[in-house]
Structure 1
């Protein structure tokens, strides 16, 4: 075999590693042991040290998992799933690992007890893997088809909905109001990411930021989208100060210093223009010739002098045009030449260079002007008016601080920049990441949880009478096709649906799943029965509150008893649902006198909102998003199904040959031979 050509990738195949179910479980349990140290409100900080000696202190599950040096590809696959989920919802990375490990343990136990021996397998491990894969697939199918309905019917009625318009009100929030509930939702989120001392301060600061960036006559979530999309340009990290020094300041902070200092000392309106390219001399027009000598030394020096004079004169024309437009501030995305800086200083213009694209985009959006790419096409529409442009000292860095003139005439927000402080660089970054994750969590919370293409309106619900479960014929089944469209609208969670934190979601869904298992009929033996699927998922859910109250088992029982006390004593929603006569629709079942009266925004609430709020503040459990919990369960079940589909790990070792070779050594014939080899 000939030597590979320059830059050819050579892949060396190493031995194949067959993956068993126990290997998957061991990998996930190792990750679980790592995140459990910081799980829950009582969790602590995790300290990492790098080879450079730099220390990282964090409670964020995503940061902890990404900081691990994982060589095993299966572990990296799990971390990738966690990161993708948390990048959308902003929360749930540690709960993701906890639920994943709990489900895999239960699937492993069932697969070892009931291996699928109906087919021919080489070993018992292969049979257990096939059984586990079947369990995971049926769990995912069950979740995609029925989990949303179970949450809408068995969990959401015991929560309540908060209104985004009320939560962004300018007035001081009253106890048990919507604004206070949003702050409590944020405080519960920050409690698991930051210290208990600062969670309420940061939650109030988050609400204040959203109130400043709320667009009138726009969608409720427009402020959340705007802050999330422009967060790098909207916040400034400052190390060396306590978190309580974090604050809002008017206008925009551009994270660069003046290349040419601003000569003005008093706040007065100024005009600015944004350049995305270089300020360069004009291109010669037809008939203009600039001679560059190629002869002796004197000719070359004369040509250089002529070129410098022509270039300076051309730049002076640009500066003169800017002066006629009244421009005194130049904002540039690139580094300008020394000649441009010198001419700007002579004209008493301040210059800011190397501004990031995010900050320039935000500036253009707030100023209402278009950046200039060609310096010879400047028009009055490209010039923006600023209330002031001055330096600002934040920590040890000096930045440019601008405010926009007559902004209320164009947009209906009051721009502000967020200054996030921290004792060290790691603490500051942790607070900034938690702030942005909280915005993502609110985005998911206030978005309606719609259905996929296989909606409930297209499903066929078949219910058997409980008295004739052994003689199920066609007459015992009923298809709700006429009322399914209305049913779909009622079952979808409304925006802003929240519930008590501290395991309330898991307790209620566990109860709903167990009731679902009791009321369902067992299918044939070719597939896993629906009751078994419901019971498996229900048992796995309890691992979350068990870890939350792991320090006090009695507290776990007290909270569980207190939460389940809201459930009806005589009968449950699902038992009534499956005992309905064929002529009674699902919506009519909820409107009967057998259910408590509803006094919430959700149409099928089984308890009053005041009772729920009183319970929340009495137990001090906080609040959490129902939509985020639902998406977390779907992500975990998808990850389980993907993990158990992996049969083997194929190790490869890639080498890039970069040794130099003479051109004569490489021929078309040799290249073809090497390609064939």
Structure 2
């Protein structure tokens, strides 16, 4: 049974649609919206969403690529190109066999290629303080500029990258809490102005509310602000409450009571130092009148997102003047540093400065561009860049346990990977004498440096898939524990372990302080020199052991842009695939390794001998165990790249397992269990 030809054709067509916009040398596509407006863009998600795709499998491919970009901030075009390359190689043989081999490939080849081969070449975006510290300023700029090279033109990306760096610095968004708020509330933290050049863009303190003041009363000092979500004028009736008015006199008296109550509320606010009222609903005209009378500014009709943003920044809850609250002090109020109207183009904004109670320092971005479409591109590119930066603080972990796994066992690719998955879990059993213990298979657990992590030689293991932890496999790499110089693996397992693991086996903070991890792993030891094994009957010889987490990729791992990730991973996948005895895993390993090269080939494009020269120089340096020659200054997140690959493998598995496509032209009718045969 051959793979369905339509899959390769559809993936190739999608790749052809986005290939021209890939990388810094890519061009822009002209999209015409249904209302006639034109849009020039290089954004992969916009391109895929604009295509009118009829085949359902093509729509699945585009949806997976767009979902991945939404989760990681980038990678839609690369996703499609890599998917097309993998599917294009699965032409002969059974697609089901290839789908079944993908989980074993990820577990036995991909994770080892990343943890043992790729990891020594990684750099860290964090300073000496590790991932707990803030993102380094130089790394932040290199990451932003590299990300924007594939989204914006050369005259725009530098200015937009500087704006992004300034916004992160002023908001304190070099740490995860503030960066998470910036990503989630970016739509409310920036304003676009058309008709002005990009150079007029600014980072402003405070927040811009997309509403004008309903009542503006300038006040000195630092007034307080309250947030309300209902009208402050009391209503005569309420749901489930009936108000009986029997005469005009009673009606006028009720109205006077409502007015008096409203004035009392405003007097209470002013007596508590409140000078700004932020309302999520439209207030009654009496509220506006008494607010002006008592010198309280009012901004009304705020959106739910703006109300949530203010509450998240200031930590206050909506104020409700009910019952006897008029006699109590108002605790739910925020300090306002400034409050003024701001005219941007033809729209008026309320520009308000807040004193933050958390890690996020309130600042907003004012984006200027000649037309609205360019503003949309800049905003989307920056939002994706901040999402990518947030992924930089995540790590890919592996948990090595003693339950063991069969060599022929298979599970879902990436353990049911979705773009939001943060960890990968693998277990492996290793026998040492008569006891089964958990081992740090992939080495370099959090808290160790590459130079401090000795290899762990395990004697007597019968697992043929455990391979020597060579940092740069080749003729100059050293085999551990007496292995030959030809690179042939011994029939025993060799794994890496954290240095100085004591009985507590605590997980130390990830050490990413070094600028690179190029130091090769050296040294050997026996298992009992690193792991204290209990000889009690409950633990020894019973296959019971605790599981200890290991890190495949540390937080903050970065590589230079330009195809280094793909070429390095291609090299190490090829190496580790030779040591797997299953032919199906070897075949799929070679397919994925060759498919990875389609990315740098597309990046270099029509440049004469550009890719060939880059590939030969990189692989030659790996074979000689020499430092890589890097000419690019930009950096890219290895976490996002790794998740891109696992997401593509998951999509390939789903596509190859499709047996039948059924077109449904009307909603499916629910069939009750108690229906009889006469009903059909």
Same fold, judged at TM 0.5 (above): yes
**2 CA distance for matches of 1:289 and 1:403?**
43
Correspondence for 2:635: 623
Correspondence for 1:383: 333
1:511 aligns with 2:474: no
Q: Which structure shows the higher helix fraction?
A: 1
Structure 1 residue 207: Cα displacement: 2.1
Structure 1 residue 347: Cα displacement: 3.0
Correspondence for 1:281: 234
Correspondence for 1:578: none
Structure 1 residue 236: Cα displacement: 1.6
Correspondence for 1:562: 617
Structure 1 residue 25: Cα displacement: 1.6
Q: Secondary structure at the match of 1:450?
A: strand
Q: Where do 5+ consecutive residues of structure 1 fail to align?
A: 1-17, 112-130, 172-176, 294-298, 470-474, 570-595, 597-605, 658-671
- More divergent stretch after superposition (377-386 vs 395-404): 377-386
Q: Secondary structure at the match of 2:666?
A: strand
| Distance verdict in 2 for CA 1:561–1:62, change over 3 Å | same
| Distance verdict in 2 for CA 1:555–1:63, change over 3 Å | same
Of 14, 21, 33, the residue aligned with 1:31 is: 14
**1 CA distance for matches of 2:97 and 2:656?**
9
| Distance verdict in 2 for CA 1:64–1:284, change over 3 Å | closer
Q: Over residues 341-364 of structure 1, what are the superposed CA-to-partner deviations in whole Å (9 max), with x where a residue is unaligned?
A: 233233332211121233223323
1:159 aligns with 2:150: no
> When the two structures are superposed, what TM-score results if normalisation uses the length of structure 2?
0.73
Structure 1 residue 372: Cα displacement: 1.3
Q: Over residues 57-77 of structure 1, what are the superposed CA-to-partner deviations in whole Å (9 max), with x where a residue is unaligned?
A: 211101111122333322221
1:544 aligns with 2:494: no
Question: Are the counterparts in 1 of residues 181 and 360 from structure 2 also a CA contact under 8 Å?
Answer: no
Correspondence for 1:248: 203
| Distance verdict in 2 for CA 1:209–1:148, change over 3 Å | farther
Correspondence for 2:534: none
**2 CA distance for matches of 1:21 and 1:535?**
21
Q: Over residues 38-90 of structure 1, what are the superposed CA-to-partner deviations in whole Å (9 max), with x where a residue is unaligned?
A: 11211111111123111222111011111223333222211221122111111
Correspondence for 1:344: 291
Correspondence for 1:355: 302
| Distance verdict in 2 for CA 1:425–1:367, change over 3 Å | same
Of 209, 220, 225, the residue aligned with 2:180 is: 225
Question: Are the counterparts in 1 of residues 561 and 636 from structure 2 also a CA contact under 8 Å?
Answer: yes
1:313 aligns with 2:260: yes
Correspondence for 1:394: 344
**2 CA distance for matches of 1:154 and 1:385?**
53
Correspondence for 2:581: 522
Correspondence for 2:142: 184
> When the two structures are superposed, what TM-score results if normalisation uses the length of structure 1?
0.74
Structure 1 residue 675: Cα displacement: 11
Matches within 5 A, 1:138-177: 138-163=101-126
Question: Are the counterparts in 2 of residues 510 and 539 from structure 1 also a CA contact under 8 Å?
Answer: yes
| Distance verdict in 2 for CA 1:516–1:165, change over 3 Å | closer
Correspondence for 1:501: 561
Correspondence for 2:525: none
1:194 aligns with 2:152: yes
| Distance verdict in 2 for CA 1:326–1:224, change over 3 Å | closer
Question: Are the counterparts in 2 of residues 149 and 491 from structure 1 also a CA contact under 8 Å?
Answer: no
Query: Which protein has the larger Cα radius of gyration, Structure 1 or Structure 2?
Result: 1
**1 CA distance for matches of 2:322 and 2:193?**
35
| Distance verdict in 2 for CA 1:489–1:309, change over 3 Å | closer
Matches within 5 A, 1:91-110: 91-108=74-91, 110=92
Q: Secondary structure at the match of 1:419?
A: strand
Q: Secondary structure at the match of 1:361?
A: helix
Structure 1 residue 476: Cα displacement: 6.3
Question: Are the counterparts in 2 of residues 213 and 413 from structure 1 also a CA contact under 8 Å?
Answer: yes
Of 478, 481, 491, the residue aligned with 2:492 is: 478
1:326 aligns with 2:273: yes
Structure with the larger RCO, 1 or 2 (CA within 8 Å, 6+ apart):
1
Q: Secondary structure at the match of 2:54?
A: coil
1:440 aligns with 2:387: yes
Structure 1 residue 621: Cα displacement: 5.9
1:534 aligns with 2:589: yes
**2 CA distance for matches of 1:141 and 1:651?**
33
Correspondence for 1:21: 4
**2 CA distance for matches of 1:82 and 1:204?**
28
| Distance verdict in 2 for CA 1:363–1:647, change over 3 Å | same
**2 CA distance for matches of 1:98 and 1:621?**
24
**2 CA distance for matches of 1:207 and 1:244?**
15
Question: Are the counterparts in 1 of residues 225 and 276 from structure 2 also a CA contact under 8 Å?
Answer: yes
Q: Secondary structure at the match of 2:20?
A: helix
Q: Where do 5+ consecutive residues of structure 2 fail to align?
A: 399-423, 429-437, 442-460, 469-478, 502-520, 522-547, 670-674
Q: Secondary structure at the match of 1:70?
A: coil
| Distance verdict in 2 for CA 1:221–1:146, change over 3 Å | farther
Correspondence for 2:475: none
Q: Secondary structure at the match of 2:66?
A: helix
Q: Over residues 158-191 of structure 1, what are the superposed CA-to-partner deviations in whole Å (9 max), with x where a residue is unaligned?
A: 23112167899999xxxxx953233112111100
| Distance verdict in 2 for CA 1:247–1:455, change over 3 Å | farther
Correspondence for 1:116: none
**Number of matched pairs:** 552
**2 CA distance for matches of 1:547 and 1:26?**
18
Question: Are the counterparts in 1 of residues 604 and 611 from structure 2 also a CA contact under 8 Å?
Answer: yes
Of 42, 66, 87, the residue aligned with 1:83 is: 66
**2 CA distance for matches of 1:509 and 1:289?**
73
**1 CA distance for matches of 2:581 and 2:278?**
70
Question: Are the counterparts in 1 of residues 236 and 243 from structure 2 also a CA contact under 8 Å?
Answer: no
Q: Secondary structure at the match of 1:391?
A: strand
**2 CA distance for matches of 1:292 and 1:673?**
60
Question: Are the counterparts in 2 of residues 163 and 496 from structure 1 also a CA contact under 8 Å?
Answer: yes
**2 CA distance for matches of 1:58 and 1:88?**
20
